[in-house]
Structure 1
Amino acid sequence: MAERVTIEAAPRTVLGKKVKQLRAEGRLPANVYGKAIPSRAIEIDARQFARTIKSAGLRAMIELKVAGETEPRYVILRGIARAHGTGEPIHVDFFQVDPERPITANVPLRLVGEAPAVRDLAGTLLPGIEIVSVRCRPLDIPDTIPVDIAPLKGFDSVLTVGDITPPPGVEILTDPSVVVATVAKPRIRGQRGG
């Protein structure tokens, strides 16, 4: 299951061009919205946000605790506006999800184990896709899905999405015939005469 992180937030009354003052104070303007949920302007600590995203990643499920609200909001990061397109974050959008309603998410694959065709036959592992689309409840989104490469015993062996066993409660939506990994034969170096 994906790591759940907490971000403290406060209702934001500073709007429009005045948000520059917020940023100067180390606060990051943000909005939280969702299906049938009115958008709410909030502000968060810019340094805490940067640390959280660096450690948990952009796909983390976030428990957003807004001052004055009794229940935390479960949100995912929907967008980050950055200064000059690539600089420091200047605005963040959070999308509130229902923890009980399944959503679609992209999850990275992690190749694990050892392929006999690589170990015993000197082949080269050729990874295919790196990410699959899944459907599950927001709190069940895995950080990664491990794929055991031990079945790759020969050069004709292929692992596909259909060979992946997802964690409980997770349905993989990516086409089952898509190649995840295969092994290439070793190159034979030709000898040149002098």
Structure 2
Amino acid sequence: MSEHTLSVSKREGQGRGFSRRLRAQGSIPAVIYGKSGSEKLAVTEKDFMLLMREIGGSATIVTLEDDKGGKTATLIQDTQRNPRTDRFEHIDFLEVSADQEITAQIPVHTHGEAVGVKTGGGSLEIALHEVEVSCLPKNLPEQIDLDVSGLDVGDMIHVSALPKLEGVTYQGDPETVVVMCNAPMAEEAPAEDEAEAAGDDAEAKTGEEA
């Protein structure tokens, strides 16, 4: 598990007007939730963008360092983005404790070429891009690496067959499908053949009527 640090500042203001002014100044309004309640924060947009590039979609612990020297271990719980500009508009952080289990969504990364794709003309379908796990923060996996090279046409990998990781428990239905190798789609008859068949049917009907 990798850890990252992000500088934040505490804020008193709230409301849409305050948030708009904050974003205009190059910062993102944020909130941290924890055992002692919630606290309003501001994060420099540039710093958060750098953090997201470093993380690259993986799950990781982010240590927030505030302007008074305080440090808090967190998970990025949720982010909101502007649908038009795609810029971050709000961030939710969840405080974590070293001795308490957390629940998090972990991305699934596949590697290898399924034998059913390579030799059977099938197609690989990832049905579950993230899986929910519970563990102590120190055991939090950045991603779930899944070797799919042994999958033949019709084969599936369920949650119950995911790699065993020390201190990590997979949540949800163990029979949920994560990855499957689908059979090749049946080829459609060429348009010319269909037209020819339709013509033959029409001639047959005309003969019957005569």
Partner residue in 2 for 1:175: 173
Partner residue in 2 for 1:137: 136
Q: CA deviation at 1:134?
A: 0.7
1:32–1:85 distance in 2 versus 1, CA, 3 Å: farther
2:112 is the alignment partner of 1:119? no
Supply the distance in 2 between the matched residues of 1:120 and 1:79 (Cα, whole angstroms). 41
Output aligned runs, 1:34-73, within 5 Å: 34-35=34-35, 37-56=36-55, 57=57, 59-70=59-70, 72-73=71-72
Supply the distance in 2 between the matched residues of 1:18 and 1:184 (Cα, whole angstroms). 51
Supply the distance in 2 between the matched residues of 1:81 and 1:125 (Cα, whole angstroms). 31
Q: CA deviation at 1:87?
A: 5.3
Q: For the Cα contact (< 8 Å) 1:145–1:166, is it kept in 2?
A: no
Q: CA deviation at 1:4?
A: 2.2
AA matched with 2:160: G
Matched position secondary structure for 2:77: strand
AA matched with 1:157: D
Q: CA deviation at 1:160?
A: 1.5
2:157 is the alignment partner of 1:159? yes
Report percent identity of matched pairs: 26
Matched position secondary structure for 2:49: helix
1:23–1:135 distance in 2 versus 1, CA, 3 Å: same
Partner residue in 2 for 1:103: 102
1:188–1:102 distance in 2 versus 1, CA, 3 Å: same
| Uncovered stretches (5+) of structure 2, i.e. residues with no partner | 197-210
Identify which range, 93-102 or 26-35, moves more after superposition. Answer: 26-35
1:67–1:120 distance in 2 versus 1, CA, 3 Å: same
TM-score (norm 1): 0.78
Q: CA deviation at 1:182?
A: 2.7
Cα RMSD after superposing both structures: 3.0
Q: For the Cα contact (< 8 Å) 1:6–1:65, is it kept in 2?
A: yes
Q: For the Cα contact (< 8 Å) 2:131–2:170, is it kept in 1?
A: yes
Supply the distance in 1 between the matched residues of 2:148 and 2:89 (Cα, whole angstroms). 42
Q: CA deviation at 1:165?
A: 1.2
Q: Which structure is larger by alpha-carbon Rg, 1 or 2?
A: 2
AA matched with 1:66: D
Q: Report Cα offsets for 1:75-96 as digits up to 9, x if no partner.
A: 1223445568865434433221
Q: How many residues align?
A: 190
Q: CA deviation at 1:101?
A: 1.1
- Which aligned runs of 4 or more in structure 1 are off by greater than 6 angstroms? none
Q: CA deviation at 1:115?
A: 2.0
Supply the distance in 1 between the matched residues of 2:23 and 2:122 (Cα, whole angstroms). 53
Q: For the Cα contact (< 8 Å) 1:161–1:177, is it kept in 2?
A: yes
| Uncovered stretches (5+) of structure 1, i.e. residues with no partner | none
